[in-house]
Amino acid sequence: LIFSDILPQLFARLNHPVRAVRDTLCTILERIAATSPHALCYPAIVGATQPIVIHNEYVDNSEMEKNDFVDVIDEEKKKRAEQDRSLMFDCCQRIVARMQVLFPDLVKDVTEFVKELQRIDMLHEERWTFVLTNLDLEMSRRILQIDAEMMKTLTNTHLNDDEKKEIIHEKTVIFTSLIYRIVEDLYEKTCTNVPITVNEKQFQDTYLTTIEEAIKTLRLNRSEPRQAWASFKLLLAQLNQRANRRSFACLQMADISPRLAALSKTHVPLPGQEYKNFSDVVMLERISKQTIILPTKTRPRKIVFHGSDGKDYPFLFKGQEDLHLDERIMQLLRICNLMLSRKETDWPSYIAENYSVIPLGSRSGLIEWVEGATPIFQVYRKWQLRQATENISNQRMNEVERPSALFFKKLRAAFQANKIPKEFINDRQKWPCSILKDVVEELIEETPQDLLSRELWLRAGSSDTWFRVTERFARSTAVMSMLGSILGLGDRHLDNVLVNFEFGHVVHIDYNVCFDKGRNLRVPEMVPFRLTGNIVRALGPTDIEGTFRLSSENVLEKLRSGKEILLTMLDAFVYDPLIDWAAAQDDLGSRSMIGVATIIAVYGIVDSHSDILHTMAQSLFTLRIKESSAAWLDNRDHLKHILASIVNILEKLYTNAQKGMENRVQNWEEEVNKLEMEKLSIQRDLKNAVTEHHSIMHNIRPLLRSFSHVSFDLTSLNIMQILN
């Protein structure tokens, strides 16, 4: 088990370009598989059953300006990524083949288990909600761009009415075709086939008619994007409303996956046992009959695995996210724990709570369920419910507003009181800081600052227990705050911070936003860690000045002394091709593009739409040339005329200068001044003509740059024919 700590790094380097290195790594992994197949069966089988996504290798929109909604793929980078995937795929198949010889039942059962989990990583309803949510934002952007392009075309004096109408129609088709294509492909994938599970049949019974009507409306109104998309907006609202009503919904496993429900006495090692000997590994006996859907953004499912030892092992099955980064962060936290726990006399212990993470592909995985820990949001929610029942006897409990809804409600009221236009609510840049501060202070005033401290006090059976739990809470908070600051950890909302009120340990979950990725979000996260009023009050009588401050200083000192180890680990992160470093790809609204996650949700692979993107790029380029051709040719003729005039004036100046020197012609200076004035006038005309040329090229140059990465002949576009 000596290599167990670096298994993720070994797998990550299976795409090494040197064959000897790959062979050596495969040999090492095959030897590990012979003695500890449970430690690498999941990454090997996942890598051998589906293409591995190599992140940030070839999806590149940096060459495109925000005004161009065509995603262009860099062919060279794409080929490199495909080669990397092929190398990793071949190596994983080699490892699995070796394991199949030694442990055929284990490989067979784990393969079936992984494939079925991958199939249900997103149910049809969740898939439609996820895809429409992402496409709705993108469609809104593109509609605004179509409006801007329409105004630009209508004001083009070089085009007649028929040409303007044709160009506007073609632009509308180009800017919306990819979105329409994705929606129609999703419809074909989820609605046209015979349902194979009860859940799929229920989805079709509930939404098939609505989706078919929306598709019909889309096809009839392709040139009217607002009208074409209106039905999908209504469908998205219906899906979100249903999802919000189904908090902690319970599904029957047999309804979503009959195969998983039928598993019994398998040879599947339960995830998270990498550090055990194979003889001590617990196998999967069966899966619980029910699964609970949590009411969070990605709608993860809690699944209970019954082990061969008679115990239950709950896991969180999460889709819509790449968990390779979470896996590496857990590995880093374990290393940090070794660095922090060198003194046995430390009490409470310096421990960063961690858990097992098992990626099952590019957008799903299993996360060990943290028992005994409660999200801080649940504490806040219980207080809200108590307040609702005490103050309004006839109010139903599920009508309590979420913090974000409460914030916007007070913000609207403040805007109204200060006579600020309502439309400002949608533009954060226009929010007055003074009003924002007043709203936040009002919310702080309304919320008790002792919710956490009271919970710790009420759970403790004695003052001694309370003191110990509070000390552990302060130290655990300090450890995670300092580590979070170093890792640039963001997205620390109350659902992602858990507290074990019995022992005082703090557990952070969801490490998808780290290494300062939160600073690039639409609403940037600037604070280094979460230390709000309720957390401060729960740190004990000295607040931040006691255990918390001393522990924070100690953690930073120990980590600084072992910085070489940390830097070595972090250096491996940078070159890990399985980790998604492309913050802009998942950025909520920072770029005008179809996200990688959306493409994977519909097609299962990331580069399935590259051909249509190339076609769209060519079509847009042709259209730009067609739209600008008359102005471009006029600009050319204008420049020719100006240059000829400049040459003529220069010749006259030269001739007059010669005459003036030889014959001392009267009024020579007056004639020269007149020519100089003409020259200045023509220079202004030249400057305006060059400015006009740059204005024309402004819409064409980004596309030309993007074509430098695409392998095709520009002569096929018949540019000269368009210009003529």
Measured distance CA(380)–CA(140) in Å, rounded: 35
- pLDDT, residue 723, reads 46
State both tokens at 48: 């051998």
Q: How many CB atoms lie within 10 A of CB 462?
A: 8
Structure tokens at 422: 């309502």
Cα angle 678, 636, 672 (rounded to 5 degrees) comes to 15
> Do the Cβ atoms of 272 and 39 come closer than 8 Å?
no
Closest CA to 259 of 119, 358, 363, 359: 119
Q: Which two tokens stand for residue 87?
A: 């190398």
Packed helices 668-698 and 610-663: angle between N→C axes, nearest 10 degrees:
180
Q: Is 599 exposed, middle or buried (0-12, 13-18, 19+ CB in 10 A)?
A: buried
pLDDT at 308: 93
Cα dihedral angle (333, 334, 335, 339), rounded to 10 degrees? 90
Domain 374-579: state its class. Answer: mainly alpha
pTM, entire model: 0.76
Q: Checking phi first, is residue 408 left (phi over 0); if not, alpha (psi -120 to 50) or beta?
A: alpha
d(CA 669, CA 491) in angstroms, rounded, equals 75
Q: Please, are residues 425 and 454 in contact by the beta-carbon 8 Å criterion?
A: no
Checking phi first, is residue 250 left (phi over 0); if not, alpha (psi -120 to 50) or beta? beta
Low-confidence ranges of the chain (pLDDT < 70): 1-2, 50-85, 246-248, 342-345, 391-400, 574-593, 605-617, 657, 659-669, 672, 699-724
Number of Cβ atoms within 10 Å of the Cβ of 417:
10
Contacts (Cβ under 8 Å, ≥6 apart) of 15: 22, 54, 83, 84, 85, 87, 88, 577
The residues spanned by each domain of the chain are: 374-579, 610-723
pLDDT at 82: 61
User: 352-362: b or e for each residue (b if 16 or more CB lie within 10 Å)?
Assistant: bbbbbbbbbbb
CB 347 within 8 A of CB 80: no
Query: Any idea which residue has 């040719």 for tokens?
Result: 633
The amino acid present at 586, given as its one-letter code, is: D
**pLDDT score of 423:** 72
The C-alpha atoms of residue 612 and residue 597 are separated, in whole angstroms, by 18
pLDDT in tens, 25-81: 999 999 999 999 999 999 999 988 765 554 443 333 333 334 444 444 444 555 555
* H, E, C per residue of 74-86: CHHHHHHHHHHHH
Distance of CA 138 to the CA centre of its chain: 14
SS3 493: coil
The answer, yes or no, to whether the previous bond of 348 is cis (omega within 30 of 0) is yes
Mean pLDDT value across the chain: 81
